[in-house]
Structure 1
């Protein structure tokens, strides 16, 4: 690979394990682009029973590939349009300039649909006890029940089916998330 080629780093792993924290740290440390898989959850019209039953299908991996990965690999700016889970809609799009280093942070960032464009793959791991404690601190007790019933099983099925940890550097932080409200 030539020196002028973009560098793509995937930070995937279990919810509550520190993916966002690591992504933010890397962005600040290296002045790189940070793209979040949380910005690519399915829009309402995409939430069909078939798609929701698909392992790894609860993210808009097609839109992510087309609007983020393809331009980055082609060394072009990205017209970034995040999806808001709070508002259930796409937010206003904005341009993200091309940078050599690009961090793709979030569960499903190593989805096989992307055909592994990454030079580095990081899997963030956490014990089940610390995971639930972090989710409770971050999202509250009621949301933690939703994570346990829905999101954690979906992630675990994705990790298992696609063997996401294979070929990745595993980081297991004993990270305690602080609930710093801004």
Structure 2
């Protein structure tokens, strides 16, 4: 990861660099990290469709109940099971077979079905904590998404989620992780998605 100025990049510049890396051959591992409701999943889905990529969702690796201790939550980025994520996913990117891992369901607080993701030329790791220092050195390119707070809260409300819970719980945890680990500074690209209301359609207009 290279250190860069904290200035937002245009998303087409990021896509241009991704295309360049794709043409160089070999498997490309992309990390999409960033603020809540900054369109991380939307971007991942658009890129998955455009490039026939495989996508790993960090939400599948939140902590099971037995690991949710006060000590763990005091650790920046500690509310993701980064050890399991590295063992079940990151360490297997070099293999040719499909990646299979156990998805954790935060609603039932239990492991759900086994997820199978094709190990394709472009592999995407998407979600908050995607660039956790425990495994960010394995990425070939990374992008940090952000947006104005009022727009992010509007998106959360439109998804039917508990805005107050995000304000009081999840946003502070994410911010502490971003600041303590220097996530934004270490990302290859920083993209402000406040104005990208039709992100998927826009991605589809860009050349591969």
**TM-score, normalization by structure 2:** 0.78
Q: Give, in angstroms, the shift of residue 55 of structure 1.
A: 1.0
Q: Which shifted more, 20-29 or 162-171?
A: 162-171
Question: Does the 8 Å contact 2:72/2:78 carry over to 1?
Answer: yes
Q: 1:138 and 1:12 mapped to 2: Cα distance?
A: 19
For 2:103 and 2:48, the matched residues in 1 are separated by: 18
Contact 1:68 1:80 in 2 (8 A): yes
Total equivalences in the alignment: 174
Give secondary structure in 2 for the equivalent of 1:81. Answer: strand
Which of the residues 162, 165, 170 maps onto 1:146? 165
* Aligned-pair CA distance for 1:176: 4.9
After superposition, the C-alpha distances for 1:63-116 in whole angstroms (9 at most, x for unaligned) are 110001001134443112211111111112143232121000000000001142
TM (norm. structure 1) is: 0.89
Residue 139 of structure 1 deviates from its aligned partner by: 3.1
The residue number in structure 2 matching 1:172 is: 192
Tell me the equivalent position of 2:14: none
Task: Report the CA distance shift for 1:176/1:138 in structure 2 as closer, same or farther (over 3 A).
Answer: farther
RMSD: 1.8
CA distance in 1, matches of 2:86, 2:70: 22
Given candidates 83, 94, 108, the residue that maps to 1:87 is 108
1:43–1:83 Cα contact (<8 Å) kept:
yes
Q: Deviations over 1:126-145 (max 9, x none)?
A: 111111111111134xx110
Residue in structure 1 matched with residue 180 of structure 2 by the alignment: 161
Decide whether the 8 Å contact of 2:93 with 2:119 is kept in 1.
Answer: yes
Superposed, which structure 2 residues align to 1:29-178 within 5 Å? 29-140=50-161, 143-168=162-187, 169-174=189-194, 175-176=196-197
Where structure 1 has 5 or more consecutive residues not aligned to the other structure, the ranges are 178-182
In structure 2, C-alpha distance between the alignment counterparts of 1:124 and 1:32, rounded to whole Å: 19
Whole-angstrom distance in 1 between the partners of 2:136 and 2:49? 28
Give how far 1:4 is off.
5.6
> Which residue number corresponds to residue 180 of structure 1?
none
The runs of at least 4 aligned residues of structure 1 exceeding 4 Å deviation read: none
